[in-house]
Structure formats: C-alpha cells, structure tokens
A = this chain, B = another copy of it.
Amino acid sequence: MQNQDDNLLKFDIPEIIYGRGSLSKIGQCAARLGGEKVFVVTDSGIINAGWLDKTLEYLKQEGLRYIVYDNVVTNPRDFQAEHGVQLYLKKDCDVIIALGGGSPIDTAKGIAILATNHGSINEYSGCNLVLHPIPPLVCVPTTAGTGADISQFAVFLDIKKKMKMCILSRTIMPDISLIDPELLRSLSPELIAATGMDTLTHAIEAYVSSLSWPMTDPHAIHSIKLVAEHLVNAVKTKDITALEGMSIASLEAGMAFSNAILGAVHALSHPLGGLYDLHHGLVNSVILPAVLGQNLSHAIPKFAHISKALGLKSKGMSIEDAALHTPEKVKELIEALGLPTRLSKMGVDAGDIPIMAEMAKDDICMLTNPCSYSKENIEAMYREVW
C-alpha cells in the first residue's frame, strides 16, 4: 500500500512454525524473543477448551512468568485495547502472546500498539500510522480464517461512530505465528464454516487485488484450492487432515492478503460488523457472491483460475465462460455449508443500506479492489443480498 505510488511491491510475513503439537513450543518462542514475563491475551472460549491451561503449563516449563488478559469479545472495541495496555504496563510484561481467533489477536495487537505508541487506538486507524515498533508478539491462532496472525492489519470497533476501523501498519506484523492444527478441534462446526469462508474471501480478494504479484498469487490460488478440497469435510467431520488443510489455507490466504491487501467484500462487510456486531466471516460469506458478480469483468483470466481452483470442470470452456462460473461455485459451497445467504435474515434493516454504502465507499479495502464503485453500485450490491 505504502509503495503503490512508486510501483514497488512488498512481501512481509512473520516467522511461521507449523505442525500438530506445535503449541508445546510456545514457551521457547516467547523466551527466544527475550520474554521473561508474558502477557497472554485470550478469551473465555479458549479457556473453556483447555488451551489456556496447556499454554500456561508450557510457559512454566520454560521458567516464564505470565499475566492473563481474557476480557476479549467478538469485534473487539476500541476501549478494550486501552484497558488491556494498562494491565500490560502495570505488570511490567515484556512479550505478548495472542491465543485465539481474530478477536484476541486483534486485541493483542491493539495492546501492543499502545504499549509503545501510547494514546488511544482510534488515532492509528489508517495506513502506517503506527510509528514505533511494538513489543515482541507471538500469535497462536485457534481458528482457520482470520489471518490476523500473519497480517499487518488490526480491526477495532469505534464505539462512538459505530464503525469498524482498520489499522494497517508494517510495524504491527507479529514476530512468530505458531500454528497448531490440533487447536481447531475445539471449534463448533458453525465457526469452522464461517471462518473458512473468511479464508476464501481473503484469498479471492488478494488474488484479484491491484497489488497482487507473483509472491502473493501462488498462495492465494493454493488457498482457494485447499478451501474447495477441505472446508465441507472439516465442518462435517472435524477430520484432522481436513483441519490441517484449512489451517494451511488460512495461513496462505493471510500471506496473500497481508501483502496484496483486500477488496470490496471487506469494504462492504466492515459497516455490517460495525452497526450490527455480526460475525465477520459470516458477513463476508453473504456479501461475497454479490461482489464477485460485479468484479468479474475486471479480472477475467484470474476469475477463470479461481473457478477452476474451486473445482469447475472447465474443459472446452472459454476463459470468459470459466470466469463467469465463479459466483455459482461459491454459492454451491455456501449452500453445502448451510450458511445464511441473506442479510434480512441476520437482522439487518434495509433502511441502513445508504449509510452503509457511504461507509463502504470510504473503506481502506476499496482502494485495492480491481475496479471502483459509486455509492449507487454499492447500494445495489447490498440490496442483491438483503
């Protein structure tokens, strides 16, 4: 993003450690980053699943002290980062571990930003406004979808404006992402489905983004293939091979979107998260087919690849024809997952569409969509899936 003006491209990701049972390395990771007193950010779901206890055990084995902060909710609020950092500073912690899905990871990033940059989190909404390096940060994702463990993004709910704000800054890249697919076993089928659709949205948006390049493309397209191959099975059976497939899909989508950025699906999704506090992955899933229909003609060859990656038998088809099948292939997947397809069924008031369209138009993610949209275009897409 910061390099768009001068045609430079970037690729930056954390160190990745991957494998079943890799959670056992969490203490070594924190120690290697210089940690003596670890600040663990997590939520009640993770605690109930038993993953926090295991984590603390591994920290103890490494001789580390720790403080746990579990005041985290879905769609984390701005004031929560400010609340968390007070504890971090008061307790003299020196490394942060985020253990959880997107919400604990984003909350941890917010705490990390304020620990060294001070002020309120809302000041950092936008591109590269976080100037000072954050404390060492290790992320342990417990969902396969957010990509927050790999990305330079953090998203908070601005409570006053009822708006999601995106912080996009090279300085907030985690140091290590420790990915243990075993952790996905405690997820509900609904959450596997919704976070899986978040992964698919990341991969598709990054693949057709105006900042995509040969470093991001192979990961984006491979992620789409893995979702097509594993998501339904992961939801229905929680088979470990399927969960591993989804955890790699999420990782690769994260590598792609953190560097190629996103597009209109996220721009339209953020206002719904802000106004209605809906689950980000679910909202992306509902919006995705409508945006695909409009984006298609602006990236025909890439959408043809996406269709094929989603399983389209394209033999004998023209590239245009193959591309046109993308929304249909995505809808087939959403149907197989049993996810909702209409905003009206999720409590969204059609009267809010104009104000949401205004917010979506100005969303930072719209900048890298393969084409630009007027407020009217955006309203039409919302209405298509209302």
Residue ranges of A at the interface with B (Cβ–Cβ < 8 Å)? 3, 6-13, 15-22, 25, 170, 213-215, 218-219, 222, 226, 248, 251-252
Which 3 A-B residue pairs are closest in the complex by CB-CB distance? A218-B218, A8-B19, A11-B16
Distance A251 CA – B213 CA, assembled complex (angstroms): 13
Q: Which of B7, B19, B25 contacts A19 (CB 8 A)?
A: B7
Contact A215 B21 (CB under 8 A): no
The 23 sampled A-B contact pairs (Cβ below 8 Å) are: A3-B17, A6-B19, A6-B21, A7-B19, A7-B20, A7-B21, A8-B17, A8-B21, A9-B19, A10-B15, A10-B16, A10-B17, A11-B13, A11-B18, A12-B15, A15-B170, A18-B215, A214-B222, A214-B226, A214-B252, A218-B218, A218-B219, A218-B222
Candidate in A15, A214, A226 with the most chain B CB atoms within 10 angstroms: A214
> Would you call B22 and A18 a contact (CB within 8 A)?
no
Copies of this chain, count: 2
- Alpha-carbon separation in the docked complex, A136 to B3 (Å): 22
What is the CA–CA distance of A248 and B214 in the complex, to the nearest angstrom? 8
Q: How far is the CB of A352 from chain B (nearest CB, A)?
A: 40
- Which residue of chain B has its CB nearest to the CB of A8? B19
- The CA of A383 and the CA of B108, in the complex, are separated in Å by 59
Give Cα A11–Cα B255 distance, bound, in whole angstroms: 11
Report which of B13, B19, B219 forms a contact with A3, defined as CB distance below 8 A. Answer: B19
